Structure 1
Amino acid sequence: MGILDRIAEIEREISRTQKNKATEYHLGVLKAKLAKYRGQLLEPSKSKEKGEGFEVLKSGDARVALIGFPSVGKSTLLNTVTNTHSESASYEFTTLTCIPGVIEYKGANIQLLDLPGIIEGAAQGKGRGRQVIAVARTADLVIIMLDATKSEAQRRLLEQELESVGIRLNKRRPNIYFKEKKTGGVSFNSMCNLTRVDEKLVQMILHEYRIFNAEVLFREDCSPDEFIDVICKNRAYLPCLYVYNKIDQISMEEVDKLARQPHSVVVSCNMKLNLDYMLETIWNYLSLIQVYTKKRGQPPDFEDGLIMRRGSSIEHVCHTIHRTLTSQFKYALVWGTSTKYSPQRVGLNHVVHHEDVVQIVKK
C-alpha cells in the first residue's frame, strides 16, 4: 500500500468517526498518523526529478508568493505592479514556471513571485503543486488570488491544500514547550485548564512518533492538531492576504461583502481598480517600516531610507548600516513618534517607528 493510499484510508476513517469523548483518543492517533504520512510525502525524492526547478534567489527587503488557481489574474497583477513581463492569456496554465518581479514601494524592494496555477491535489504532487508549495514556504507573505465570480470554492480548496502540507495561514505558533530527552519518560505539565487534550492523549500521539522520553508543557489550551504541529517542527506560520480579482464582473453588493471579509482586498487588475490600497495592505502585512539616517550638522537623508521590520531596535539599525558599528556605538539621537521629545538620546535597545530619523554617535 503506497503513502497516498494510506493517507486516503486515514482521511476516510477520520470522516466516518463520530467526534465525542469516547473517540477523542482514536481520532488523536489517526491525526498523528496522517501528519506523519503527509510529512513523508513532502520529503524530497532521492532521485532528482527531471524538469525545471522553481527556486529563485531571495532578494530585496521581503518576499511575497502569489498563489491561485489557473486564470485568476496572477500574471496580470505581476505585470501591473512590477516592471516584469509574465505571459498572460485567457487559457489555463499560461505560466509554467516561477517568474519573479519587484514591487518598488515606499523605498522598499518587495520580491513578488508569480507561481504557476495550482490545482486540487497539489499537495500530493499533481500539476507542479509540490514545487509551488515549496517556494511558498520561503515567503514572508502569501497572497492567495481568487476569482471574485467563483471565490468561495477556490478559497476553501486552496486553504485545504496549504494546510495539508504544513503551511498555517494567519495563525500563530502554539504556545507549547516541547523537548525530546534521552531518558526519564514523558514529563507532562500545563499552566492552564486543558479542555481538548490530556496526558494520556499526549502520550499516545508521542508514541505514534516513536518518542518515549520528552518534556511537554502546555502554556495555553491547545488542540491535538496544534500539539502535532509542535512535534513535527516543519510548520510554516505565514501571514496571508486574500486578493479577489475581477470585481468589475460582479455586483456592488457582492464586492462589498467580499471586501468586509477578514484579511481580504478586492481589486480589478484589468481596470486597475484598488491596487494602491492592495500595496498599502501588503506593506502592513509584511510589518515593514522606513527609517531615515542623519549625519551630524546635516539634514536627514530622506532619499534613501533604511527598510526595517516593525519592532526593530537601534541595534538592528546599526547592523543594517554596517556590522562593526555596534562596537563603536556611544548613543543615538532619534526624532519621530518613538520618542517622548525630539531629539531624544537613546541606547541600543530603543525600538524605532516608521519614518523615525536616527543619528548614530560613535565613541
Structure 2
Amino acid sequence: MSTLQKIAELEAEYAKTQKNKATNYHLGLIKAKLAKLRRELIEPSGGGGGKGGEGFDVAKSGDTRVGLVGFPSVGKSTLLTKLTGTFSEAASYEFTTLTAIPGTLHYRGARIQVVDLPGIIEGAKDGKGRGRQVISAARTCNIILVVLDVAKPATHKILIERELDGFGIRLNQEPPRIMFRKKDKGGINFQAFVPQTTLDAEAVTAICREYKIHNADVHLRCDATVDQIIDVVEGNRKYMPAVYVLNKIDQISIEELDIISRLPHCVPISAQHGWNLDELIDKVWDECKMIRIYTKPKGQIPDYTAPVILHSHHPSVEDFCNRIHRTLISSFKYAWVWGSSVKHQPQRVGKEHILADEDVVQVVKKSG
C-alpha cells in the first residue's frame, strides 16, 4: 500500500470516528500516524529530501524574504512586477509561472526579496503538480503573502491554508507553550501547569510511543491540543506571519470591499492599477517586525545609507552584533548608542540593552 493510500485510509477512519472524550485517545493516535506519513511525503527517503528543480533553488538575498503564494492566475506575477520592477510573465491563463522568480523591493533602507512562487493547486501537500517544491521554497521565507482573487470563492483561502499546514507551515500562530525533552530513562514525565481540555497523561504517552519515544519530559503551560503535541514532537514546524492579499478589488463594489476588508490579516489591493500597495508594504514591514539600526564607526558620522535590519520589536545590542558578524560579540566591550532607546545622547550600554528603530550604535571592542 502506498503512503497516499495509507493516509486516505487513516483520514477516512478519523472522519467516521465520533469525537468525544472517550475517543480522544484513539483520535490522537490516528493524528500521530497521519503526521508521520505526511512527513514521508515531505522528506522522501533516499537522502537529500529532494531538490526543488529548475527555478526553485533561489539564493536568499537581502534583509527579508517574502513569498507570494496562491492559486494560478490570481495576480502574483503582476504584483511582483509592481513591487520590484522584476518582470514575471503574466497572462490570463493558468500556470503561467513555472519557476520561482525573485525580485528586490527597496524600502526604508532595507532590501526585501520578493519571490513569486508557481501557483499552488489543491493536493500540493500530497505531491500533486510541483507542490512539494513550491511549499519547500515557501518555508525559507520570513513572511507569506497569500494572494487571493476577490472574485473567486473564499474557499481558496481555506484550501491554501490546508496545503501549507500539511507541510508544517503554521500561519499567524505562535509556537505552543510546551516543553518537550527526550531523556535516557524515567518514562514519560507528564506535567500540566494549566487545566487541559483534551489532553491527559495517557494520551500524551500514547502519542510519544507512536514515535517510539519512551522516555521524555512533557510540560504543558497552555491548554494544548493533540495537534500541538504532535507539532512539538515532530520538531520541524515553521511558524510564520502571513498577510492575505485580496487582489482585483477594482472588479467588486464598495459594499463588497467593506465586507471582505474585515477579514483578519488582510490587505485589499489592485495589483494591475497599483492601488493600496503602500499599505501592503507597511503591513509586511510590521508583520516581520523589522527594525533599522545605523552603524557609526569611531570618529566618523553614522552611515544612514545601509541600516542593519533586525527582525524583532525588542532587539538587543547582542542581536545587532550577531547580525553584523557572529564573532563580534566575543570581542564586545560596550557600545555607545544614540536614539530614542537611551536617555543621554550618546549613552554607554551593555549587550543586553534593548534598541529602538533608527538608533545609532558604535561598538567598542576589547583591547588586544
- The AA in structure 1 aligned to 2:360 is V
Taking the aligned partners of 2:52 and 2:254, their CA distance within structure 1 comes to: 47
- The AA in structure 2 aligned to 1:335 is W
Taking the aligned partners of 2:305 and 2:163, their CA distance within structure 1 comes to: 43
TM-score (norm: length of structure 1): 0.94
Task: Name the structure 2 match of 1:83.
Answer: 85
From 57, 60, 69, the equivalent of 2:59 is: 57
CA contact (8 A) 1:75 1:88 kept: yes
CA contact (8 A) 1:53 1:131 kept: no
Task: Name the structure 2 match of 1:286.
Answer: 288
- C-alpha distance 321-264 of structure 1, shift in aligned 2 (>3 A): same
Q: How well do the aligned residues superpose, as a CA RMSD in angstroms?
A: 2.0
- C-alpha distance 135-193 of structure 1, shift in aligned 2 (>3 A): same
Task: Tell me if 1:32 matches 2:32.
Answer: yes
- C-alpha distance 112-182 of structure 1, shift in aligned 2 (>3 A): same
From 345, 348, 353, the equivalent of 2:351 is: 348
Task: Name the structure 1 match of 2:180.
Answer: 178
TM-score (norm: length of structure 2): 0.93
Query: What's the CA shift for 1:253?
Result: 1.7
- C-alpha distance 132-322 of structure 1, shift in aligned 2 (>3 A): closer
The residue correspondences of 1:256-335 to structure 2 (distance < 5 A) are 256-295=258-297, 298-310=300-312, 311-321=314-324, 325-326=328-329, 329-335=332-338
Q: Which moved more, 1:180-189 or 1:317-326?
A: 317-326
Taking the aligned partners of 1:104 and 1:37, their CA distance within structure 2 comes to: 41
The residue correspondences of 1:33-48 to structure 2 (distance < 5 A) are 33-46=33-46
Identity %: 54
Task: Name the structure 2 match of 1:148.
Answer: 150
Task: Tell me if 1:189 matches 2:191.
Answer: yes
Taking the aligned partners of 1:137 and 1:27, their CA distance within structure 2 comes to: 28
CA contact (8 A) 1:290 1:306 kept: yes
Taking the aligned partners of 2:211 and 2:325, their CA distance within structure 1 comes to: 45
Q: Deviations over 1:41-81 (max 9, x none)?
A: 11135396895361211111111111000000000011111
Query: What's the CA shift for 1:322?
Result: 5.4
Q: Deviations over 1:120-175 (max 9, x none)?
A: 11111111101001111111111110001125111010011111221111111111
Task: Name the structure 1 match of 2:223.
Answer: 221
Q: Which runs of 4+ in 1 moved over 6 A?
A: 47-50
Task: Name the structure 1 match of 2:109.
Answer: 107
Taking the aligned partners of 1:232 and 1:72, their CA distance within structure 2 comes to: 33
Q: Which moved more, 1:163-172 or 1:314-323?
A: 314-323
SS in 2 for 1:303: strand
- C-alpha distance 349-49 of structure 1, shift in aligned 2 (>3 A): closer
- The AA in structure 1 aligned to 2:24 is E
- C-alpha distance 18-182 of structure 1, shift in aligned 2 (>3 A): same
Task: Name the structure 2 match of 1:123.
Answer: 125
Task: Name the structure 1 match of 2:232.
Answer: 230
- C-alpha distance 222-298 of structure 1, shift in aligned 2 (>3 A): same
- C-alpha distance 161-329 of structure 1, shift in aligned 2 (>3 A): closer
Query: What's the CA shift for 1:231?
Result: 0.7
